[in-house]
Amino acid sequence: MPASKKSLLKKHETTSSLLPVADTIANFEIRYVQFLNAQAKIVNELPDFANDNDCLLELYRVMKTLQMFDHKVLLLHRMGKIGTYTGTLGQEAVGAGTASCLRNEDVFVPYYRSATDLYVRGVKLHEILLYWGGDERGSNFDDPRLKHDLPIPISIGTQLLHAAGVATAIKLRKQKDRAVLTMTGDGGTSEGDFYEAINIAGAWNLPMVIVINNNQWALSESNTAQTACQTLAQKAIAGGIEGIQVDGNDVIAVKATTQTALEKARNGGGPTLIEAVTYRLCAHTTIDNMDSYVDKQKYNSAAEQEPLIRLKKLLQTRELLDDSKERELELAIKQEIESEVEQFLQTPPPAPGDMFDYLYASLPERVAAQRDEVIQRENPDADIS
Amino acid sequence: MLTLVESVNMALDHELDQDPEVVLLGQDIGKSGGVFRATAGLFAKHGKDRVLDTPLAESSIVGVSVGMASQGMRPVAEIQFMGFIFPAFNQIVTAVARMRNRTRGRITLPMVIRMPYGGGIHAPEHHSESTEALLAHIPGLKVVIPSNPGRAYGLLLAAIRDPDPVIFLEPKRVYRTEKQDIDNDGEAYPLESCFIDREGSDITLISWGAMMRETLQAATQMESEGVSCEVIDLVTISPIDVSTILESVEKTGRCVIIQEAPRAGGIASEIAAELSEKALLSLLAPIGRVTGYDTVMPYYRAEHRYMPNTQRIVDEIRKTMEFQ
Ligand SMILES: Cc1ncc(C[n+]2csc(CCOP(=O)(O)OP(=O)(O)O)c2C)c(N)n1
Ligand SMILES: [Mg+2]
């Protein structure tokens, strides 16, 4: 469903309606993209990739993986094996649809709720678990193809400017055919860095795409608490860049829009802000209880519109998926998750000196002495040379 | 013969010539050459892809530098005045200082953030403060302050070539007060060690930035009273070169630290604490501090009352020498 709030401007007479204006000097509009609605009805001519059955099956597999992963992490949390995790339940189409458009040479700049994207990009689930399990090594991605991708930042909004910087590097080096994809939550669009990022992206015509994962909540605050804007996509107008809203539960729409925007960026056409409208079906984090602020009825109706149901229906219509194939898929995913969880649980804690070892290229004398102290306290016989 | 700000310009020019990954960015640094002219002529010589005028947004300047550096470029960002670093503070603390650590060495940030700082130029509010201790408190950064033209050149070269982020604070009061002969030889100075500017045997004076002038003047004056002062230019306020300081104070037995910044929680306090831990038995007198006061930096009609001057330093040296 398109997300457009009532405009505050309509409540009162506007200043311009009370004045004899000379002219209208600019007009703006926000378009909404959808192919597969919540009833799995095809409402627009499908893009080419949506006629590629393998492509749709792979998107479904990814979304199913993250859906099952979410449940697994909650269990791990209840068993005391992992701390805070920011789930992706209900928002899998935003991640799968966006990241599947990236090429190796592109750069992905995540936010903390980008687990689906990270997974598609090639980050292993055990690395994601390691990160949320309190271990920095989770951001030292194993896959060498990801060497340019940035790690998860926790300070909201900061990543958007980093993405602008990566895009600046690409532009200054005159690298054609490369673009940057970055993400933020809906609450993140209230941050100064968000506005600064769309501003500089526009001013410098940077090859980047910013995706807003509008999951309706910023922790416990609804969109109404964040902004008077009718849409978040329209914030792009302030930066002079293109803004577009897409059904974030329609993976086909997310992918088609992201692909088009990335292609535009690669071809020198500049930045795009994509607002993907979805719903957070999990609590903010594993340690959050959403009962106090979520309306149960609204939640239930959002749950009926979640992204896997409609894609599954489409796959069934095309006879690509039936109950036995679904079970087969679930089994394979379960095995992958179990083995990744095992690898996470088996990872020994970092060495005692580890928290000092990546501070600078070479450790200053003073800090080296502190490192030695930590090592020796843990192991009095250690050779600290 | 070059002034400090001219030597900054020469170092920037040198690195732009040497390394295609070096890019300057900041407000008004392009055609205009910066409010203090630190980048004068560089836009004309190196072009719009090497010297970038940014939007008026400090978080952008630093955040974009992070992104560029993460891809192997060497951005040198200018913040127009240190008093305007605060919109970028979040980026400095949460990204600049920790990217290497956050990625366990996978991504490093070879970047410099330069800015003029300090009082004494009769400027409006926020144009005169010395908040270097706020930056020095953040692990993962190096904070470097040159005190004269030659050092500005050699240290800035080192900062730009350093594999890690360096905050480079330029004492604007002495931007043009002193000229030195400097070869444009690309010779960098080490960032790890302080400089002993004057050897002496009775007392160690430690300072940095613009206050080095008054500190050296005080040393000269005390010399005529028969007090031999060893004068150390700290240069890198984080991480501090403790061993050089320690060696000097163990020799002299007395120490006065001079800083323009407010007293509480400053770099002088940190040095004094290190010395009291490591050199207690060598000390013949309490460690003295001459500092700005713990108040808001006054507007310029009263800034002379706030700034430490030669007399205050001389007084503190006498007090320390007379201690029984
Ligand atoms: C700068 C900053 N302020 C506050 C927080 C604490 N915080 C973490 S998540 C969150 C809500 C963010 O909501 P949104 O941007 O919509 O993203 P979502 O979590 O819904 O994906 C808050 C307030 C933070 N991480 N960073
Ligand atoms: Mg949200």
- Contacts of residue B41, Cβ cutoff 8 Å, sequence gap at least 6: B9, B13, B33
Ligand 1 atom closest to the CA of A188, numbered from 1: 15
A216 ligand 1 Cβ < 6 A: no
Predicted confidence at residue A1, as pLDDT, reads 65
A190-209 pLDDT, tens digit per residue, is 999 999 999 999 999 999 99
Q: How many domains does chain A have?
A: 2
Exposed (0-12), middle (13-18) or buried (19+): which is A377, by Cβ within 10 Å?
exposed
Looking at the fold, whether A59 and A149 belong to one and the same domain comes out as yes
Q: Are residues A225 and A340 in the same domain?
A: yes
The third-level CATH classification (topology) of the domain covering B195-321 is Rossmann fold (3.40.50)
Where exactly are the structural domains of chain B?
A: 4-174, 195-321
Do A378 and A244 lie in one domain? The reply is no
pLDDT in tens, B41-84: 999 999 999 999 999 999 999 999 999 999 999 999 999 999 99
* Residue A8 is assigned to a structural domain of this protein: no
**Model confidence, pTM:** 0.96
**Catalytic (active-site) positions of A:** 280, 284, 293
Tell me which chain A residues have a C-beta less than 8 angstroms from the C-beta of B101. Answer: 136, 358-359
Per the structure, the complete domain to which residue A375 belongs is given by 351-385
Instruction: Give the pLDDT confidence score for residue A305 in this predicted structure.
Output: 97
Question: Mind spelling out the 3-state secondary structure of A276-317?
Answer: EECCCCCCCCCCCCHHHCCCHHHHHHHHHCCHHHHHHHHHHH
Do A342 and A355 have their domain in common? no
**Domain of A127: which CATH number?**
3.40.50.970
* Residue A265 resides in a domain: yes
**Interface touch B67/A366, C-beta < 8 Å:** no
Chains A, B: CB contacts within 8 A come to 140
Tens digit of each residue's pLDDT (9 = 90 or more) over B126-153: 999 999 999 999 999 999 999 999 999 9
The catalytic residue positions of B are: 127
* pLDDT at residue A251 greater than cutoff 90: yes
Q: Are A185 and A250 in contact (CB under 8 A)?
A: no
- Find the ligand nearest to A113 CA: 1
A240 with A366, same domain: the answer is no
Instruction: For A50-82, write each residue's pLDDT tens digit.
Output: 999 999 999 999 999 999 999 999 999 999 999
A341 with A373, same domain: the answer is no
- Residue A17 included in any domain: no
Distance from CA of B309 to the nearest CA of A (A): 31
One domain for residues A160 and A304:
yes
Q: Report the alpha-carbon distance of residue A338 to residue A281 in Å, rounded.
A: 23
What is the tens place of the pLDDT at every residue in A103-117? Answer: 999 999 999 999 999
> Residue A12: inside a domain, yes or no?
no
Could you tell me if A162 and A150 are in contact, meaning their C-beta atoms sit under 8 angstroms apart? yes
Nearest 5°: phi and psi at A244?
A: -145, 145
Å from CA of A212 to ligand 1 middle: 13
pLDDT computed for residue B145 by the predictor: 98
Query: What SS3 string covers chain A?
Result: CCCCCCCHHHCCCCCHHHCCCCCCCCCCCCEEECCECCCCCECCCCCHHHHCHHHHHHHHHHHHHHHHHHHHHHHHHHCCCCCCCCCCCCCHHHHHHHHCCCCCCCEEECCCCCHHHHHHHCCCHHHHHHHHCCCHHHHCCCCHHHCCCCCCCCCCCHHHHHHHHHHHHHHHCCCCCCCEEEEEECHHHHCHHHHHHHHHHHHCCCCEEEEEEECCEECCEEHHHHCCCCCCCCHHHHHCCEEEEEECCCHHHHHHHHHHHHHHHHCCCCCEEEEEECCCCCCCCCCCCHHHCCCHHHHHHHHHCCHHHHHHHHHHHCCCCCHHHHHHHHHHHHHHHHHHHHHHHHCCCCCCCHHHHCCCCCCCHHHHHHHHHHHHHHCCCCCCC
Mean pLDDT of A276-286: 97
User: Residue A232: CB partners within 8 Å, gap ≥ 6?
Assistant: A186, A189, A212, A214, A223, A245, A275
Residue A193 lies in a domain: yes
Q: What is the mean pLDDT of chain A?
A: 96
pLDDT digits (tens, 9 = 90+) for A219-242: 999 988 999 999 999 999 999 999
Note whether residue A4 is domain-resident.
no
Q: Are A84 and A268 in contact (CB under 8 A)?
A: no
CA A303 from chain center: how many Å? Answer: 19
* Residue A371 shares a structural domain with residue A291: no
* Spatial separation of the C-alpha atoms in residues B86 and B256, rounded to whole Å: 31
φ, ψ for residue B161 (rounded to 5)? -85, -10
Cα–ligand 1 centroid distance for A299 (angstroms): 20
Amino acid letter at B253?
A: G
> pLDDT band at A350, cuts 50/70/90?
very high
Instruction: Note the pLDDT of residue B183.
Output: 97
pLDDT computed for residue A9 by the predictor: 66
Tell me if A198 is assigned to some domain.
yes
Is the CB of residue A136 less than 8 Å away from at least one CB of chain B?
Answer: yes
pLDDT less than 50: residues of chain B: none
Which CATH superfamily hosts domain B4-174? Thiamin diphosphate (ThDP)-binding fold, Pyr/PP domains (3.40.50.970)
Q: What is the pLDDT of residues A129-176, one digit of tens each?
A: 999 999 999 999 999 999 999 999 999 999 999 999 999 999 999 999
- Co-location of A216 and A362 in the same domain: no
User: Same domain for A100 and A86?
Assistant: yes
Which residues are CB-neighbours of A246 under 8 A, at least 6 positions away? A32, A33, A34, A253, A254, A257, A274, A275, A276, A277
Q: Tell me, yes or no, whether A178 lies in a domain.
A: yes
Q: Is the CB of A185 under 6 A from ligand 1?
A: yes
A252 and A205 both lie in a single domain: yes
Q: What is the pLDDT of residue A384?
A: 64
Same-domain status, A235 and A115: yes
Task: Give the pLDDT band of residue A7 (cuts 50, 70, 90).
Answer: confident
